[in-house]
Amino acid sequence: ASRAGSQTQGTPGIPRQSRRRKSLAIAYESGQGDGAEPRRARWEPRDWREQLERIREMRRSRDAPVDEMGVQKCYDSSAPPQVRRYQVLLALMLSSQTKDQVTSAAMLRLRRRSLTVDSVLQMDDETLGQIIYPVGFWRNKVKYIKQTTAILKQKYGGDIPSTVEELVQLPGVGPKMAHLAMHIAWDSVAGIAVDTHVHRISNRLQWVKKETKYPEETRVALEEWLPRDLWKEINWLLVGFGQQTCLPVNPRCSQCLNQDICPAAKRL
């Protein structure tokens, strides 16, 4: 490049050629030569494919709480698409810091009242609170559900937004909920849904380049290397695995097929 530059300055007949050469180089750099893609492709966790395959094996029976009572099981599958999507979002809002069993029961009680945008808007706060109790932080959730439902009615014609950016603007909706809403309600993969289970297990398996403190950090770290065709599956796999085997306290390492290749197994 420096030689071409000196030729450009010293030889009047060359500038056009050197400019052309330079533009070709720039085109290359903006594509693959900026280093971003190769850097991501180079790092991947040790043994991750084998670990993933073994987790799939452990999850083969699909009998964790998330399988039987997770958000994907909480909506009325016979309802119109717009109503189904609203029920998915509501189930996600209720599920925060709440066991799947409790969320599922609350959704069942709500659905008995014909769970739609209009029915929730017509419900007073006390009634809504009585129905969703004992979900975690139920008083806050009453407020968020009412606020979000009003926004959906006014701004989205009673439907839910179809982008993560718009979903996280809704009261009481965080990034994990937004990504799961995209997966379940819109059948669209915009990113990895990272909850406490995915966050914990990703760190234990060292699926993050360096330890992460928050689920959002974990999401960014996972998306840098995990093949995109696995983004939707990984939440379901790891949540159930975290509920049954890789528990927050006293994980059942002796029952885990990854015991020999898990960096955390010997320390726990």
Give me the active site residues, please. Answer: 176
User: Nearest-CA neighbor of 243 among 99, 96, 53?
Assistant: 99
Specify whether the CB–CB gap between 77 and 115 falls below 8 A: no
Amino acid occupying residue 24 = L
Token output for 267: 């320390």
- How crowded is residue 237: how many other Cβ atoms within 10 Å of its Cβ? 20
